[in-house]
Structure 1
Amino acid sequence: MPAPPLNREFPPIFDGHEDFITQIRRPRRGDSQLAAVLTGDNHRDLLARSEDGHVDLPRAMEGGLGGCFTSIFLTNERAEMAPVDYAMQEIADLYEVADRSDGRWRICRTAGEVRAAWEADAFANVIMFEGADPISRSFKELRVFYEAGLRVLAPTWSRSTIFAHGVAFRGRLPETGLTEAGFELVEQCNRLGIILDVSHINPAGFWDMIKASQTPIIATHSSVKAISAHVRNLDDDQIRAIAGQGGTIGINFANGFLDPSMAMDSDPSLETVVAHFAHIVDLVGDEHVSFGTDFDGATIPTVVKDAAGLPVVARALKAKGYGDVAMERICNGNFLRVLESVCG
């Protein structure tokens, strides 16, 4: 059965971060990651409805999810493939899905292309790197990946790269800021037209990026530290800094990032989800908050469940009192504003 048209109950949602392309090649128990890649053993078809994971085309259309920054992510720093090879494989996987989608699964490079995809009831993928592991000190890979569609880049995941250090989920990582190469990476991204993402970077690196970047910075999938003091969330000073540069923050739906307990096995209420949006609106306005679900990369509240459940959140935001202009901004306008400003 073909996917339904895009749900228009609310403005199409453009999500700041989804991990589905990493998940479709996850190895079965006992398999290595390398074996899964070499055999082409895809465990999910993103064009067919599934009970696995959070996102596929039918559920996205049903939930009014019109697209996202699609994460290219090296799942483990000890992975058996070189990061640049792994990134190329994941991008190739994304293009393969697009090739057999009859135009309903698109790789987009500009805000205009995203909007055109929605006119055709298509899902708009904008490629992002969750960690700059595939980029070397020479930056030669950056231009090649840009030509392949890369438009958003985080210097690091929650580990260290040659560019920066992340916030550690466990153990400790260096607390210093951007390296010399990291400052050069910011300059290269500004020059090419690649948006910089501060999700996962440590506080010192965050402030270095704020000072160094000449273009708006975003947090693709972070939530509010004033509600949940999780190390991955943003404090009010960081939220103000992103807003001050014209950026936006995607609210991460990971249970531990939402719930005041910070427990990943918690099950936050719909009211808690909405509270994270409301905190940012109250602090800096509705021009600086967006969706950043982390679908297929996190355990999320049962009230949402998957992409098809997004209208539950949109209705709750509407009930909170956000009007048509605010809803347009929160659902897609804020991310598309930055995409248009930086990338065209």
Structure 2
Amino acid sequence: MFLFDAHLDISMNALEWNRDFTQSLNDIREREKHLTDKPDRGKGVVSFPEMRKGNIGMCVATQIARFVKPDSLIPGWHSQAQAWAQTQGQVAWYKAMEEAGELVQITDFPSLQKHIALWKNAESTENLPIGYILSLEGADSILSLKHLETAYNYGLRAVGPAHYGPGVYAYGTDSDQPLSQKGKDLIREIERLGIILDATHLCDSAFWDAMKIYHGPVWASHNLVRNLVPHNRQFSDEMLRELISRKAVIGMAFDAWMMIPGWVRGKSTPESTGLKIEHIAEHIDYICQLAGNALHVGIGSDLDGAFGKEQAPGDMDSIADLQTIVPILERRGYTAQDIEQIMWKNWVDFLERAWGRE
């Protein structure tokens, strides 16, 4: 089945992890096998060949560059200007991949329709470009509202204002503070430009503040259910209901500690916990039951988002294994139409509403 993955940190992997996504997964792992600078070295699951193998012809691909103050316990760039420069390098890499025929940028609904038709009608997807919508995860790199407009002009179509900790515009995971005036101004500019607001990573206070002032299209590219795995990173039932009321789609993330309770990062393993891809179905079921339909769930895997096989389901060797979600949902009684909606069509329907028929 065609698959639309709404969250992949591809350029971060290319520039900061120094991974050549055009190579086979085996070659990427082989080149990293003696490296120890990051815990996921040699354990990545994403490459362009594997995406094609898994019929993942469309994704939301991020720019990401966090700004941190001197007392920060989390890593990041030491100035907003450095963060901006990092995101510009990421854009340059995406453009290089477009020129090489590996990727094609999607910025409006007609180009999305054309791209999906190309994939669905092709006899072979082996050499097809993968479509990507450019997103910004954490808005720290936006030096000014003028920079946001500049980013829109080079194709940015979704923004998550926060990431982890205190941000320039909004507080994110493992922190909490209402939106500042600067954050509110950013949210309003996102709406003015017609950019999708990504609610992922917003702390609770900032989430509700944003919902009060933002009236445009909102999605959550990679988020799971707080009632199943208690943590502020997840959405509460109230937050889920708010998103459902706005016709949002919530992408299912495959980061182990979000999928099952009790996972201790750096200690737990897929083997010790028995974590499998099938565990994601609990989160899918929960949101579908809350919504009363299957129209608000998609895939937003976050695979290779600073973790690899060591913090992913034990039966996932490659991003292509996302295709096993289809039989998992079939066994749970989901209809063929429901499964198609979850695997790709909910994102496309969302974008048709958000972008209209330009």
AA aligned opposite 2:111? E
- Cα pair 1:255 1:301 within 8 Å, conserved: yes
Q: Are 2:46 and 1:55 equivalent residues in the alignment? A: yes
Q: Are 2:57 and 1:66 equivalent residues in the alignment? A: yes
Unaligned runs of 5+ in 1: 1-9, 28-42
Candidates 104, 116, 122, aligned match of 1:106: 104
The Cα of 1:154 is off from its aligned counterpart by 0.6
Spell out the pairing of 1:245-284 with structure 2 (5 A cutoff). 245-264=246-265, 265-267=268-270, 268-284=275-291
Q: Structure 1, residues 43-65: CA drift from partner, whole Å, max 9, x if none?
A: 33222322342222211111121
AA aligned opposite 2:237? D
The Cα of 1:211 is off from its aligned counterpart by 1.6
AA aligned opposite 2:92? A
The Cα of 1:133 is off from its aligned counterpart by 1.2
Q: Are 2:162 and 1:167 equivalent residues in the alignment? A: no
AA aligned opposite 1:322? Y
- Cα pair 1:17 1:294 within 8 Å, conserved: yes
AA aligned opposite 2:353? S
The Cα of 1:336 is off from its aligned counterpart by 2.1
- Cα pair 1:229 1:262 within 8 Å, conserved: no
Q: Are 2:304 and 1:296 equivalent residues in the alignment? A: yes
The Cα of 1:177 is off from its aligned counterpart by 1.6
Q: Give the equivalent residue in structure 1 for 2:122.
A: none
Q: Give the equivalent residue in structure 2 for 1:194.
A: 195
Q: Are 2:91 and 1:85 equivalent residues in the alignment? A: no
Taking the aligned partners of 2:246 and 2:233, their CA distance within structure 1 comes to 20
Taking the aligned partners of 1:129 and 1:266, their CA distance within structure 2 comes to 30
* Higher mean C-alpha deviation, range 210-219 or range 72-81: 72-81
Taking the aligned partners of 2:348 and 2:256, their CA distance within structure 1 comes to 26
Taking the aligned partners of 1:244 and 1:120, their CA distance within structure 2 comes to 33
Taking the aligned partners of 1:342 and 1:187, their CA distance within structure 2 comes to 16
AA aligned opposite 1:204? S
Taking the aligned partners of 2:221 and 2:337, their CA distance within structure 1 comes to 21
TM-score of the aligned structures, taking structure 2 as reference length: 0.82
Q: Give the equivalent residue in structure 2 for 1:157.
A: 163
Q: Give the equivalent residue in structure 2 for 1:22.
A: 12
Candidates 325, 330, 334, aligned match of 2:342: 330
Candidates 316, 323, 343, aligned match of 2:328: 316
The Cα of 1:252 is off from its aligned counterpart by 0.9
- Cα pair 2:53 2:320 within 8 Å, conserved: yes
The Cα of 1:302 is off from its aligned counterpart by 2.1
Taking the aligned partners of 2:133 and 2:224, their CA distance within structure 1 comes to 21
Q: Structure 1, residues 106-132: CA drift from partner, whole Å, max 9, x if none?
A: 111124323322333331110000000
Taking the aligned partners of 1:332 and 1:273, their CA distance within structure 2 comes to 16
Q: Are 2:7 and 1:13 equivalent residues in the alignment? A: no
The Cα of 1:276 is off from its aligned counterpart by 0.9
**Identity over aligned pairs, percent:** 25
**Change in CA separation of 1:234 and 1:262 when aligned onto 2, cut-off 3 Å:** farther
Helix, strand or coil for the counterpart of 1:120?
Answer: helix
Q: Are 2:97 and 1:97 equivalent residues in the alignment? A: yes
- Cα pair 2:277 2:314 within 8 Å, conserved: no
Taking the aligned partners of 1:116 and 1:304, their CA distance within structure 2 comes to 31
- Cα pair 2:77 2:83 within 8 Å, conserved: no
Stretches of 4+ aligned residues off by more than 6 angstroms: none
Taking the aligned partners of 1:178 and 1:334, their CA distance within structure 2 comes to 29
Q: Structure 1, residues 112-170: CA drift from partner, whole Å, max 9, x if none?
A: 3233223333311100000001213x4011111101110010111112223211122xx
Helix, strand or coil for the counterpart of 1:208?
Answer: helix
Unaligned runs of 5+ in 2: 30-43, 67-74, 120-128
Taking the aligned partners of 1:230 and 1:15, their CA distance within structure 2 comes to 23
Q: Are 2:112 and 1:118 equivalent residues in the alignment? A: no
Q: Give the equivalent residue in structure 2 for 1:287.
A: 295
Taking the aligned partners of 1:269 and 1:162, their CA distance within structure 2 comes to 36
* Higher mean C-alpha deviation, range 126-135 or range 106-115: 106-115
Taking the aligned partners of 1:92 and 1:341, their CA distance within structure 2 comes to 29
Spell out the pairing of 1:220-231 with structure 2 (5 A cutoff). 220-231=221-232
AA aligned opposite 1:88? Q
AA aligned opposite 1:50? L
- Cα pair 2:65 2:77 within 8 Å, conserved: no
The Cα of 1:79 is off from its aligned counterpart by 5.1
* Higher mean C-alpha deviation, range 79-88 or range 315-324: 79-88
- Cα pair 2:247 2:296 within 8 Å, conserved: yes
TM-score of the aligned structures, taking structure 1 as reference length: 0.85
- Cα pair 1:194 1:343 within 8 Å, conserved: no
* Higher mean C-alpha deviation, range 125-134 or range 266-275: 266-275
